Chains A and B, each alone.
Chain A
């Protein structure tokens, strides 16, 4: 049985632990920072709670990094040096330089690096991509992706809203649709973006729009928002291609309507898409990772994909800061997406 070690016992560590447990893998060890102690999560799965990284690493086969974004590099490098397979929560890293070092370390140590860009496992996003690949949509021309929710809130150590740690709205939320846009329409040449906090530092929550120009000619409009009220978490997309247009929206596809005197499920601290599916997409993702680690499947999302998304997010952040059109660096050489494009045509 594959022994999984989880780093971070917050929202995502908890989500991933439940997903691993659901696949039959063994959640063997948990290590976490002071704000989210490892003991509770470890106890739930009969895992060992660690406070020493080396003994933690020695006790597992796979390391799942669910720590705050700015700590990803440190833990991925340690896991790679210990020869452990790595799963890393999105965004891969806070900077592309960190991401490059992470990819290099995993390559040098011969360990797989899987990036949890979970939107690639949400069925409506998978189905929309299928509509592109099968020719129903044809060549993507104009893509629109929306992800609108409230700002993550936590009493202590809200690293999500600490720009230096999380990268803020662009790195934490828009990154999902950045990766998906690239999965659909290929590498990105330039970005132009604006954000509310980019022009009004006093604004209490951020809201960003970005226009991407893809190398193959498509253009994408991205909306990422922390400016909504709880419990709103609205996701929507539209891909207009030369054969057809496919669109989807969480507003239009919630199968259950609840209007109760006493609501029992108030919005949590961290926005989360409501899932009314046989299998939670986080579990679908983890199940896929497990098959990849067992050599049964090719990865749907690679370290290179994770790094490419970080590079685009950096360009978006630079455009917001400078007000200029920004070229995306290092977008050459990600030929896995090119392969998909050949199928598309």
Chain B
């Protein structure tokens, strides 16, 4: 399968190059609106540079991975849909609900496959919990508390803290992963979203919220909180993490997606490191994308999932602005 990279703004683009290769794909090449950055990326990874996305899409390309800034996803995905090329799009799907809806509609209309980059769907710890929840081990799920805390991402990519490009701050960056896991586990979307945010951490560096606590409420009264804060310090042994604890009729199940790591004291990367030995969820996601291209299989995570999670993040932003819980009406 021939896969291109449409935009390399996202921090995961580097990893996807390796994942695509390991999955047996041929990487057609890379394009980006920032030519200097794109050329450097192409050269660093020994890939071909394309001056336009149209050229990339026309190069016998079966699929593209869209890793541009969130506000540019719609343009990149629309071009791919028009060219009949399937898409794996970085999260969140878009900065505005109408853009996210348009991304899904364009791909549906063109009949091209669309996946959202939610690697947690492919994390073996998260999958084990999904199996247990769906098998009824927990009975009815009544409550959940999740965290997806991270470092300030501008350490990696400055645009993450520019609302014009990213759509906001910690809420836009980190609500969607746990929101999507909850959609996956509970098989429904919340009806109400409350969020409290602040900007105490890194307040001299960024204009967006860095602390963010969210509560989702579902039709049957089930509720789930998400800590989406950029609250891990720069000296933290890793970028952050994702945890979820579910309370149900038959007890409690808790999962820490990144618990499988060594503890390393000393070495070139600092006094304390957590080298991961867990399975690479990104590889599972890329393999699923390649299977969709190759065999037309239905992927485990779709554009509709990306739209649903984006709607939750946007509702959280509205709630943080008004201070009141925000209703989330099905579109």
Contact = CB atoms under 8 A, between A and B. Distances in A.
Nearest to A139: B200
Given A142-B211, A245-B231, A324-B325, A196 B247 contact: yes
B196 A240 contact: no
Most buried by B among A139, A196, A218: A196
B310 interface: no
A217 B247 contact: no
Nearest to B220: A199
B251 A209 contact: no
A73 to B, nearest CB: 32
Interface in A167-225: 190, 192, 194, 196, 198-200, 203, 207, 209, 211, 213, 217-221, 223, 225
Given A141-B198, A242-B203, A209 B231 contact: no
B142 A207 contact: yes
A142 B323 contact: no
A323 B325 CA distance: 9
Interface in A210-249: 211, 213, 217-221, 223, 225, 227-229, 240-242, 244-245
Contact of B142 (A142, A196, A221): A196
A199 B215 CA distance: 14
Contacts of A221: 145, 213, 225, 227
Given A196-B142, A245-B236, A218 B200 contact: yes
B223 A228 contact: no
B61 interface: no
Interface string B179-222: 00000000000000010111011110000001111010100111
B56 to A, nearest CB: 41
A140 B201 CA distance: 9
Given A142-B201, A227-B247, A209 B225 contact: yes
B197 A200 contact: no
Given A140-B200, A194-B223, A227-B252, 18 more contacts: A141-B210, A142-B213, A142-B227, A190-B323, A196-B142, A199-B220, A199-B221, A209-B223, A211-B196, A217-B198, A219-B212, A225-B247, A228-B252, A240-B232, A240-B233, A245-B231, A324-B324, A324-B325
B47 interface: no
Nearest to A228: B252
18 contacts: A140-B200, A141-B198, A141-B200, A141-B211, A194-B215, A199-B142, A207-B142, A211-B194, A211-B215, A219-B198, A223-B145, A225-B252, A227-B252, A228-B252, A240-B229, A324-B324, A325-B324, A325-B325
Interface size class of A (residues with CB under 8 A): 35 or more
Contacts of A325: 194, 323-325
A288 interface: no
Contacts of B145: 209, 221, 223
B215 A142 contact: no
A142 B229 contact: yes
Contact of B196 (A192, A203, A324): A192
Interface string B297-312: 0000000000000000
Interface in B32-90: none
Nearest to B198: A217
Chain A interface mostly: strand
Contacts of B231: 141-142, 240, 245
Interface of B: 142-143, 145, 147, 149, 194, 196-198, 200-203, 210-213, 215, 217, 220-223, 225, 227, 229, 231-233, 236, 247, 251-252, 323-325
Contacts of B232: 240, 245
A207 B247 contact: yes
Contacts of B233: 240, 244-245
Contacts of B203: 242
A219 B196 contact: yes
A144 interface: yes
A217 B201 CA distance: 11
When A and B form their complex, which 9 residue pairs have the shortest distance between CB atoms, in order from nearest? A199-B221, A141-B200, A240-B231, A194-B223, A142-B211, A196-B142, A142-B229, A141-B211, A219-B196
Given A142-B227, A323-B325, A325-B324, A194 B217 contact: yes
Contacts of B200: 139-141, 217-218, 241-242
Nearest to A209: B225
B215 A209 contact: yes
Interface in A270-329: 323-325
Given A192-B325, A207-B247, A209-B215, A219 B142 contact: no
Given A240-B229, A325-B323, A229 B251 contact: yes
A229 B251 CA distance: 8
A228 B197 CA distance: 30
Contacts of A245: 231-233, 236
Contacts of A198: 221
A144 B225 CA distance: 12
Given A218-B200, A221-B213, A325-B324, A199 B252 contact: no
Most buried by A among B212, B221, B324: B221
